[in-house]
Amino acid sequence: MKVVLNQDIKGVGKKLQVIDVSEGYARNFLLPKKLAVVADNKNMNLVQGKIDSQKFKKQTELEAANANKKIIENGSIEFKNKVGGDNRLYGSVTEKDIADKIKEKFNIEVNKKKITVSEPIKTLGTYTANIKLYEGVVAKLKVTVTGM
């Protein structure tokens, strides 16, 4: 019997996947617990519509991420901090500071956990921060730290 899964089931299949299962398994377990529906024309059309909708959403998110990548890579941000001896900062510039500055300057919301810097920013200089905007889309941002 062919059924369409309503959610992921370990060892059986993923959500919206059409699978072939025994009639007893479908009638006694999957259908009563609303884990699946019978794969008739109506349900197949609904599934196809959901799949198309997900593809469109992913495509628009990818296009938005690429547009944000261009904006971020064409710009740079600058921090002016107090400096102690040996050009060392009082404190450091963190990923949260970088995310806040991106929001302020470019009006792009970035999660601080998606920002990586190769080394902690504790001295004056220019650094490169990698910002993961979407799966497979990483922007490189130039971060300059100067003294007050």
Best CA proximity match to 69, nearest among 126, 114, 143, 134? 134
What's residue 84's pLDDT? 85
Q: Range of 22's domain?
A: 2-63
What's residue 120's pLDDT? 86
pLDDT digit string, tens, across residues 75-122: 999 999 888 888 888 888 999 999 999 999 999 999 999 999 988 899
- Paired tokens of 72: 């971020």
DSSP alpha helices (H): ranges in 13-146? 23-25, 41-74, 95-106
- Paired tokens of 92: 């450091």
Alpha carbons 3 and 36: distance in angstroms, whole number: 6
Q: 111 and 142 share a domain?
A: yes
Count of domains observed in the chain: 2
* CATH number of domain containing 122: 3.10.430.100
Q: 50 and 114 share a domain?
A: no
Q: 54 and 77 share a domain?
A: no
pTM: 0.74
Q: 76 and 15 share a domain?
A: no
